[in-house]
Amino acid sequence: MFSFRGDAHKLFLTLKKLKDIHSNKDLKEAAEIKSFYESLESETLRLIYYRMVKEQNGTGIIPIFVTAIPWLLFLFSDKIQDFLFKDGILIWAIFITIYLILLTVSAFFHFKEKAWAALHIEIIKDVLEERDNNS
Protein backbone atom coordinates (compact mmCIF):
# COMPACT_ATOMS: atom_id res chain seq x y z
CA MET A 1 0.00 0.00 0.00
CA PHE A 2 1.32 3.43 -0.97
CA SER A 3 1.77 5.90 1.86
CA PHE A 4 3.18 9.38 2.24
CA ARG A 5 4.41 8.45 5.68
CA GLY A 6 8.16 8.24 6.04
CA ASP A 7 10.61 5.43 6.58
CA ALA A 8 10.14 5.63 10.35
CA HIS A 9 6.50 4.63 10.05
CA LYS A 10 7.35 1.91 7.53
CA LEU A 11 9.92 0.54 9.98
CA PHE A 12 7.31 0.60 12.75
CA LEU A 13 4.84 -1.35 10.59
CA THR A 14 7.53 -3.87 9.62
CA LEU A 15 8.63 -4.40 13.23
CA LYS A 16 5.05 -4.73 14.37
CA LYS A 17 4.59 -7.72 12.05
CA LEU A 18 7.82 -9.51 13.06
CA LYS A 19 7.92 -12.15 15.75
CA ASP A 20 11.65 -11.66 16.30
CA ILE A 21 12.27 -7.92 16.09
CA HIS A 22 16.04 -8.37 16.34
CA SER A 23 16.09 -10.16 12.97
CA ASN A 24 15.30 -6.91 11.15
CA LYS A 25 18.22 -5.85 8.94
CA ASP A 26 17.87 -2.15 9.81
CA LEU A 27 18.10 -2.88 13.53
CA LYS A 28 21.03 -5.25 12.97
CA GLU A 29 22.84 -2.54 11.05
CA ALA A 30 22.27 0.01 13.83
CA ALA A 31 23.43 -2.56 16.42
CA GLU A 32 26.63 -3.19 14.42
CA ILE A 33 27.32 0.54 14.25
CA LYS A 34 26.74 0.91 18.00
CA SER A 35 28.92 -2.10 18.77
CA PHE A 36 31.77 -0.63 16.73
CA TYR A 37 31.51 2.75 18.44
CA GLU A 38 31.43 1.09 21.86
CA SER A 39 34.77 -0.55 21.05
CA LEU A 40 36.49 2.82 20.57
CA GLU A 41 38.04 5.07 23.20
CA SER A 42 35.98 8.06 24.32
CA GLU A 43 38.41 10.62 22.91
CA THR A 44 38.42 8.94 19.50
CA LEU A 45 34.64 8.76 19.64
CA ARG A 46 34.44 12.49 20.35
CA LEU A 47 36.64 13.22 17.34
CA ILE A 48 34.36 11.05 15.18
CA TYR A 49 31.37 12.87 16.63
CA TYR A 50 32.83 16.24 15.64
CA ARG A 51 33.44 14.99 12.12
CA MET A 52 29.91 13.63 11.86
CA VAL A 53 28.48 16.98 12.96
CA LYS A 54 30.54 18.63 10.23
CA GLU A 55 29.18 16.15 7.69
CA GLN A 56 25.62 16.71 8.82
CA ASN A 57 25.96 20.48 8.60
CA GLY A 58 28.07 20.46 5.44
CA THR A 59 26.91 22.56 2.57
CA GLY A 60 26.88 19.77 0.01
CA ILE A 61 25.81 20.22 -3.56
CA ILE A 62 22.18 21.14 -2.85
CA PRO A 63 22.86 24.75 -1.82
CA ILE A 64 24.88 25.17 -5.00
CA PHE A 65 21.95 24.04 -7.12
CA VAL A 66 19.45 26.07 -5.13
CA THR A 67 21.50 29.23 -5.46
CA ALA A 68 21.93 28.47 -9.14
CA ILE A 69 18.17 28.71 -9.73
CA PRO A 70 18.42 32.47 -10.37
CA TRP A 71 20.66 31.58 -13.31
CA LEU A 72 17.58 29.98 -14.83
CA LEU A 73 16.05 33.43 -14.90
CA PHE A 74 18.92 34.52 -17.11
CA LEU A 75 17.48 32.20 -19.71
CA PHE A 76 14.77 34.74 -20.23
CA SER A 77 17.22 37.41 -21.29
CA ASP A 78 17.04 38.32 -24.97
CA LYS A 79 20.40 36.98 -26.12
CA ILE A 80 20.07 33.63 -24.40
CA GLN A 81 16.49 33.31 -25.60
CA ASP A 82 17.64 33.88 -29.16
CA PHE A 83 20.26 31.15 -28.81
CA LEU A 84 18.05 28.62 -27.04
CA PHE A 85 14.92 29.19 -29.08
CA LYS A 86 16.63 29.74 -32.43
CA ASP A 87 16.22 26.11 -33.46
CA GLY A 88 13.05 25.57 -31.50
CA ILE A 89 12.50 24.55 -27.94
CA LEU A 90 14.67 21.40 -28.03
CA ILE A 91 17.83 22.88 -26.47
CA TRP A 92 15.73 24.58 -23.77
CA ALA A 93 13.87 21.37 -22.98
CA ILE A 94 17.09 19.33 -22.81
CA PHE A 95 18.74 21.85 -20.50
CA ILE A 96 15.78 22.09 -18.13
CA THR A 97 15.31 18.31 -18.08
CA ILE A 98 18.95 17.64 -17.24
CA TYR A 99 18.97 20.41 -14.64
CA LEU A 100 15.85 19.14 -12.88
CA ILE A 101 17.08 15.53 -12.91
CA LEU A 102 20.41 16.58 -11.39
CA LEU A 103 18.63 18.70 -8.79
CA THR A 104 16.29 15.87 -7.81
CA VAL A 105 19.02 13.23 -7.58
CA SER A 106 21.29 15.58 -5.65
CA ALA A 107 18.54 16.46 -3.18
CA PHE A 108 17.81 12.77 -2.62
CA PHE A 109 21.46 11.91 -1.90
CA HIS A 110 22.03 15.03 0.18
CA PHE A 111 19.19 14.27 2.58
CA LYS A 112 19.99 10.56 2.69
CA GLU A 113 23.58 11.36 3.72
CA LYS A 114 22.31 13.87 6.25
CA ALA A 115 20.06 11.19 7.75
CA TRP A 116 22.96 8.73 8.01
CA ALA A 117 25.08 11.36 9.75
CA ALA A 118 22.22 11.97 12.21
CA LEU A 119 22.02 8.23 12.96
CA HIS A 120 25.75 8.03 13.69
CA ILE A 121 25.64 11.19 15.80
CA GLU A 122 22.80 9.86 17.96
CA ILE A 123 24.54 6.51 18.47
CA ILE A 124 27.81 8.21 19.40
CA LYS A 125 26.00 10.53 21.83
CA ASP A 126 24.29 7.55 23.47
CA VAL A 127 27.58 5.65 23.85
CA LEU A 128 29.32 8.69 25.35
CA GLU A 129 26.39 9.38 27.70
CA GLU A 130 26.39 5.73 28.87
CA ARG A 131 30.11 6.00 29.61
CA ASP A 132 29.66 9.29 31.47
CA ASN A 133 26.82 7.81 33.56
CA ASN A 134 28.87 4.71 34.40
CA SER A 135 31.89 6.74 35.49
- What are the tens digits of pLDDT across the range 40-86? 999 999 999 999 998 887 756 666 666 676 676 666 676 666 766 67
Rounded percentage of the chain residues whose pLDDT exceeds 90 = 29
Task: Tell me the C-alpha distance between 42 and 46, whole Å.
Answer: 6
Which residues make Cβ contacts (< 8 Å) with residue 24, sequence separation at least 6?
Answer: 11, 14, 15, 18
Digit-coded pLDDT (tens) for 13-46: 888 888 888 888 989 999 999 999 999 999 999 9
